[in-house]
Structure formats: structure tokens, C-alpha cells
Amino acid sequence: MLDQDFRRWQVGQVRITRIVETAPVVSPVTLMFPDESDALITPHHGWLKPHFLSPEGEMLVAWQCFIVETPDRRILVDTCIGNDRKRYFDIFNDMHNPFLEDLRRAGYPPESIDTVLCTHLHYDHVGWNTHFVDGRWIPTFPNARYLFGRVEWDYMIGLAESGDWQHAGHVPDSLQPIMDAGLADLIDVDFQVCEEIRLFPTPGHTPGHVSVHIESQGDVAVITGDIMHHPLQMAIPDKPCAFDHDKEQACCTRRSFLTRYQDSNALVIGSHFPEPTAGHVRSDQSAWRFDT
Ligand SMILES: [Zn+2]
């Protein structure tokens, strides 16, 4: 990745840096909305292009993590997919990305990270929790406390015990080694990480999903997690998304999140939104759009 791709945002005294792992990936509309067609997107081309749709009008999605640096903390939010994995989706299998080199080049060697936060425990948000060294998975961030939601942990372990390989096959390589190393703290869905950062519950995509509210010197930002995978969902918040565990709950969560941050100076950072990734939520008749 080139240096200019280390996009950074300043929020009061907090600096947020984006490290892209995989992007942009073209996603057909039917992956998220199986009963729909391109006609779902067509009315929104005007504000979704050029950043969030390909020239052909297909959805663009990114996988990335965020370093949230306060005056005295270095916090990594969501650790992407990771290298050397066996995953259900072909494009995520056995990847070899320069993610750790990119972290170092951005000024954040792994040993300097003091906290790893996961908005939820799906495989594409926890992968770099570990890396493969001398035949085993070991923690990538040896000096960090890893904050896992207690509700998420119970959910994911339940899936693993039921043999759900598609959704829980990453537990042995990305989660259990952190627990075994004694680096994990199981936290509540409403949790103050430090003076500037608070996690708040945004359930639906998964039962214990959280979003990350950042506030410093009057400036506000929020990292969405997977309450939305694409800005299109701001315009159609009630449309059930195939990726959501509890679709009805996810729709309610999207609406309350968008209402909370609409028409304000809050910088909304979309976990799966490709470049430029951040913008503002604007109310638009009975729904919303994303203004970058
Ligand atoms: Zn995700």
C-alpha cells in the first residue's frame, strides 16, 4: 500500500488512522439483498458514485482497520481478515497481505498497540488478532489487552460448539489463542474504554455488536462496525440484509444510529466503506444519505 493511502482524521486530540487490508472489492447487490436487483441502487447513483459504486454501478466494499490514538493510548479497532487462513469465501483464503508492514510504516509497530477492540467477533474483524509463527497462532499484539464483548464471545463459542464452520471456523486461530494467552478482557456492550472513547450497543448484525463513539474537545466521530456494510443502507435502512443475524433488530439499530448522528458535525467512519470511508449523515426525506 502507498503512503498516501494511510488516511487520517483528527478528532480533537484523537488521531484516527485507517489501514486498508483488502479494497475495493466489487459486491453484487444480490449478495447483501438476495431478493433484489440493480434496480435497488439505481435511484441512488447520484450520491453513491463515484466512491461507493463501480462505473458499472456495482457496490464497492473494503476491509480495513482503524488505529485510534489518544494522548496516552493506542487502540486498534477491528483487525480485518488476516493472512494464511482457511476461510469459507475463496477471496479470503490464504491471503498474503503486507498488513503488519503497513502498520509499521504508518508509525504503529504491533508491540506499541496497548488495546485491541473488536466491534464484533466475525472472522473479518478479528483476523490479525493473531499471526502464524513457527507452526502456531500467536497474539500479534503482545502488549495489548484485547477487549471482546461478553455477549459476542458467548454467541461465537455457541456457534463453534454447534459445528458451524462457516461462521465460527476462525475461533481456533483468531480468538482462542488470545484467551489462552490471558490477554482477553470480556466486556459489556456499554463500555467506557478511556476518556475519549465509549462503546455502545448496536445489536442485530450480531447479538453483542458495538459501535465506537469518539469525542474530544467538542469534535465527534463514530466507527460504525457492521450495522451497515455500504452507504446504500442509509437510504434503505429497513431493507433486511442477508449478513445480519437478527434482521428486524438490525433495521431498528440502523434507524436509531442514523437518527443519533444525522445532520451534525459527527464524522461517521464506515468499517466497510471504501475510500474516502468517512463522511456525514444527512437526513433525506424519510431516510438518509452519506455526504463525503
Ligand atoms: Zn464485516
Between the CA of 66 and the centroid of ligand 1 the distance, in Å, is: 13
Between the CA of 243 and the centroid of ligand 1 the distance, in Å, is: 9
Between the CA of 23 and the centroid of ligand 1 the distance, in Å, is: 13
Query: What pLDDT is stored for residue 1 in this prediction?
Result: 41
Task: Please answer whether residues 83 and 72 qualify as being in contact, where contact means their C-beta atoms are separated by less than 8 angstroms.
Answer: no
Between the CA of 175 and the centroid of ligand 1 the distance, in Å, is: 16
Between the CA of 205 and the centroid of ligand 1 the distance, in Å, is: 9
Domain count for the chain: 1
Query: What pLDDT is stored for residue 153 in this prediction?
Result: 97
Could you tell me the CATH number of the domain that includes residue 182? 3.60.15.10
* Closest C-alpha among 221, 206, 258 to residue 236: 258
Between the CA of 125 and the centroid of ligand 1 the distance, in Å, is: 6
* Closest C-alpha among 141, 127, 125, 124 to residue 77: 125
87's grid cell: 476461510
How far apart (Å, rounded) are the C-alpha atoms in residues 127 and 134? Answer: 18
Between the CA of 262 and the centroid of ligand 1 the distance, in Å, is: 23
Between the CA of 122 and the centroid of ligand 1 the distance, in Å, is: 7
Between the CA of 282 and the centroid of ligand 1 the distance, in Å, is: 24
Query: What pLDDT is stored for residue 3 in this prediction?
Result: 44
Between the CA of 272 and the centroid of ligand 1 the distance, in Å, is: 7
Looking up cell 424519510 gives 286
How far apart (Å, rounded) are the C-alpha atoms in residues 47 and 280? Answer: 13
Query: What pLDDT is stored for residue 257 in this prediction?
Result: 98
Please spell the DSSP secondary structure of 184-217, one letter per residue: EEEE-SSEEEETTEEEEE--SSSTT-EEEEEEET
Between the CA of 79 and the centroid of ligand 1 the distance, in Å, is: 10
DSSP 53: B
Between the CA of 204 and the centroid of ligand 1 the distance, in Å, is: 13
Q: What is the pLDDT along the chain (292 residues), one digit of tens a residue?
A: 444 568 999 999 999 999 999 888 999 999 999 999 999 999 999 999 999 999 999 999 999 999 999 999 999 999 999 999 988 888 888 999 999 999 999 999 999 999 999 999 999 999 999 999 999 999 999 999 999 999 999 999 999 999 888 889 999 999 999 999 999 999 999 999 999 999 999 999 999 999 999 999 999 999 999 999 999 999 999 999 999 999 999 999 999 999 999 999 999 999 999 999 999 999 998 899 999 9
* Model confidence, pTM: 0.96
What sign for the dihedral angle of Cα 162, 168, 174, 179?
A: negative
Between the CA of 126 and the centroid of ligand 1 the distance, in Å, is: 10
* Closest C-alpha among 238, 204, 239, 240 to residue 224: 204
The residue range of the domain holding 123 is: 3-291
